[in-house]
């Protein structure tokens, strides 16, 4: 299998990470060597194996639905790069 | 007392309780040594002024019933600390000041400990050498050219270099045990669900666990006892009866059955590692325990499985860093452009690489071939351990396939860097506890570690085995203080 530049561009778009040509080529090389190594899994037959989706063999505990954090508006907004009163500010979305 | 920083946590606690030392004495000593150790680059943020204030406050009204009375402690910069900058070693969190405290650190402060500062680590804990940190690499106290291991590299360097009596790290694929092994200290990765993940910057949520790093097994047991707790704020935290690990610690392991898995004898493993392992087997026998050859047939598939599961989870977890709610924001022409530039400029090379792998294996058309396949193989790996534990109480392996490598030696070859975690990764995939203890030196004088893997929730047993072996091994770390100004 080979990951080409077009695929790298596609993944970078999905991941929302802008990648220039030079970076894309380096990434393609890295990802190809990593996937060569990952392909080893194809040696194993796993048709009848149940996937492991949770490592902790426990069921989720139920609890009453109570508000525990009150009046934390200020805390939530405290680390925002840009805010206006109680809102996060982002670049204009609607023209 | 000039040798305060040489004392173990257990000794310091005793000396504070007997009033031979004050918290201020101890805190001053570790601050002084930390200040002289800037070259190691173990700290990202120090909190020395507040630490000294807190020590004085403690001494005015000392509560000596606590488990860590007035003990200063630096922690990995992956734990959120209220009002103290928490970076995860990343540019994208370079200005992030949490408004809440992680449960694990909260447990530590509740037992009387005092924060010294935040320790360097690989960016988002993704790395095996501490070279991916935005804040620069960390030097090993063993030798200035050596990596301390990673991702808890600052933590390992700080404990081995005596800048903090003990510390906590996190371990997703070996990030506590591998650096512990590289720097000649003890590191425990607890059972998944033993320590709360609340307030720890997430990497791979089904693998991440916090754990103690210390100079010896007893200190490690004491700190584990403090950090392990059931926490409703973490839905994967498990409510089980926790031991008083330090009090119940015993070197009597007579009659225990210890498995030796043949698949851990990997191609190209240096003879020194094999010799160390054999020595470990002899120590086990000298302690009156029995060793049994076992098989964990799917071991060689663990690392490829890990490099699907961990990046997949990471790509989801790291989607939150979008420049909107907190952290670094780059200027962009529109919203999407802002996201893409923020993430491109804010994340380092290794983190971007892993987000890309994770995004790819979860993307439409590839999910079954990679992610689902990896989950199935993960099940097989867990089954291997379940099968083995029908015959044995614990498993003994080397911690790493080699001693510490040089700074820069593996940075251009991600796969060779990943191979370093070959013996530690299966333990995370199976959610089991594992402890690395220093067990000898290679021909260059660098430390080598042995790993004891336990059954789920059987930390007491592996701590006991480690404690018994520690006595026989009688390891002395070769620290020359070369970096002290």
Model confidence pLDDT, tens digit, residues A28-81: 999 999 999 999 999 999 999 999 988 877 778 888 999 888 889 999 999 999
Q: Which residues pair with B143 in a beta bridge?
A: B140
Taking residues A82-88, report their average pLDDT. Answer: 92
Residue B230 φ/ψ region, left for φ over 0, alpha for ψ in the -120 to 50 degree band, beta for the rest:
beta
CA distances in angstroms from B261 to B265, B383, B433, B439, listed in the order given? 8, 14, 16, 18
Q: Which of B333, B352, B373 sits opposite A17 (nearest CB)?
A: B352
Instruction: List the single residue in B with minimal CA-CA distance to A16.
Output: B340
Lowest mean pLDDT among A60-74, B252-266, B420-434, B467-481: A60-74
CA distances in angstroms from B476 to A30, B7, B12, B184, B438, listed in the order given? 40, 14, 19, 8, 9
Segment holding B466, helix H or strand E: helix B459-473
Q: Which residues pair with B6 in a beta bridge?
A: none
Asked if B304 reaches chain A (Cβ–Cβ under 8 Å), the answer is yes
Place of tokens 């804040």: B135
For residues B272 and B206, what is the distance between their CA atoms, to the nearest angstrom? 34
Q: What is the pLDDT of residue B359?
A: 97
Return the ∠ at Cα B322 (arms to B131 and B329), rounded to 5°.
75
Q: How crowded is the C-beta side of B7, counted as CA atoms within 13 Å?
A: 21
Interface test mutation site (partner A, options B97, B357, B379, max chain A beta carbons within 10 A): B357
Residue B452: which residues within 8 A CB-CB, separation 6 or more? B258, B394, B395, B396, B434, B435, B437, B462, B465, B466, B469
Q: What is the pLDDT of residue B252?
A: 97
Q: What is the pLDDT of residue A59?
A: 79
Model confidence pLDDT, tens digit, residues B245-257: 999 999 999 999 9
**A5-43, what's its fold?**
Histone, subunit A (1.10.20)
pTM, 2 dp: 0.97
Contacts of B376 in chain A (CB under 8 A): 46, 49-52
Residue B175 φ/ψ region, left for φ over 0, alpha for ψ in the -120 to 50 degree band, beta for the rest:
alpha
Mark yes or no for CB contact B357/A34 under 8 Å: yes
Contacts of A18 in chain B (CB under 8 A): 337, 340-341, 343-344
Q: Which of B360, B376, B430 sits opposite A46 (nearest CB)?
A: B376
- How many inter-chain contacts (A to B, CB under 8 Å) are there? 159
Q: Does residue B289 carry a pLDDT above 70?
A: yes
Helical packing angle, B349-362 and B335-346, nearest 10°: 120
For the question of residue B205 being annotated catalytic, the response is no
Where exactly are the structural domains of chain A?
A: 5-43
Give the closest-approach CA distance of A43 to chain B in angstroms: 9
């Amino acid at each position: 299998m080979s990951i080409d530049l077009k695929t790298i561009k596609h993944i970078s778009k999905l991941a929302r990470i802008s990648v220039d040509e030079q970076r894309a080529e380096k990434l393609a090389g890295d990802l190809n060597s990593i996937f060569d190594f990952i392909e080893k899994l194809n040696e194993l037959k796993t048709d009848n194996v149940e996937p492991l989706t949770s490592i902790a063999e426990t069921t989720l505990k139920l609890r009453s639905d109570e508000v525990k954090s009150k009046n934390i508006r200020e805390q939530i907004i405290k680390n925002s790069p840009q805010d206006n009163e109680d809102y996060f500010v982002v670049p204009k979305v609607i023209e | 007392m000039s040798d305060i920083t040489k004392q173990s946590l257990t000794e310091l606690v005793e000396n504070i309780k007997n009033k031979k030392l004050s918290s201020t004495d101890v805190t001053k000593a570790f601050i002084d040594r930390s200040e002289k150790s800037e070259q190691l680059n173990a700290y990202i943020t120090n909190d020395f002024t507040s630490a000294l204030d807190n020590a004085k406050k403690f001494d005015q009204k000392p509560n000596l019933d606590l488990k860590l009375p007035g003990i200063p402690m630096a922690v990995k910069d992956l734990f959120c600390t209220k009002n103290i900058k928490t970076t995860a070693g990343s540019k994208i969190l370079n200005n992030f000041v949490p408004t809440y405290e992680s449960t694990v650190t909260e447990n530590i402060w509740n037992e009387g400990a005092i924060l010294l500062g935040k320790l360097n680590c690989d960016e988002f804990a993704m790395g095996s050498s501490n070279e991916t940190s935005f804040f620069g690499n960390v030097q090993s106290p063993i030798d200035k050219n050596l990596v301390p291991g990673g991702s808890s590299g600052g933590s390992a360097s700080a404990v081995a270099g005596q800048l903090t009596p003990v510390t906590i790290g996190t371990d997703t694929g070996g990030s506590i045990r591998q650096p512990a092994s590289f720097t000649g200290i003890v590191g425990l990765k607890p059972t998944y669900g033993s320590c709360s993940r609340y307030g720890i910057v997430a990497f791979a949520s089904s693998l991440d666990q916090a754990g103690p790093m210390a100079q010896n097994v007893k200190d490690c047991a004491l700190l584990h006892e403090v950090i392990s707790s059931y926490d409703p704020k973490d839905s994967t935290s498990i409510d089980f009866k926790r031991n008083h690990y330090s009090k119940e610690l015993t070197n009597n392991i007579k009659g225990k059955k210890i498995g030796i898995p043949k698949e851990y004898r990997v191609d190209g493993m240096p003879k020194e590692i094999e010799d160390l392992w054999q020595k470990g087997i002899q120590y086990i026998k000298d302690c009156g325990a029995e060793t049994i050859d076992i098989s964990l047939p799917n071991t060689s598939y663990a690392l490829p499985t890990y490099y699907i599961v961990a990046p997949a989870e990471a790509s989801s977890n790291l989607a939150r860093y979008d420049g909107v709610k907190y952290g670094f924001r780059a200027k962009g022409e529109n919203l999407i452009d802002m996201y893409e530039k923020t993430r491109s400029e804010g994340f380092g090379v290794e983190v971007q690489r892993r987000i890309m792998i994770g995004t790819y294996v979860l993307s439409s058309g590839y999910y079954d071939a990679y992610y689902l396949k990896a989950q199935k193989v993960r099940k097989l790996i867990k089954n291997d351990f379940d099968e083995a534990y029908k015959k044995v109480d614990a498993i003994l392996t080397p911690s790493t396939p080699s001693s510490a490598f040089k700074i820069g030696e593996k940075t251009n070859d991600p796969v060779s860097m990943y191979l370093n975690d070959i013996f530690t990764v299966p333990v995370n995939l199976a959610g089991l506890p594992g402890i690395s203890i220093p067990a000898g030196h290679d021909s260059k004088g660098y430390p080598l570690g042995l790993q004891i893997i336990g059954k789920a929730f059987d930390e007491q047993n592996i701590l006991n085995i480690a404690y018994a072996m520690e006595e026989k091994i009688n390891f002395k770390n070769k620290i020359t203080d070369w970096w002290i100004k």
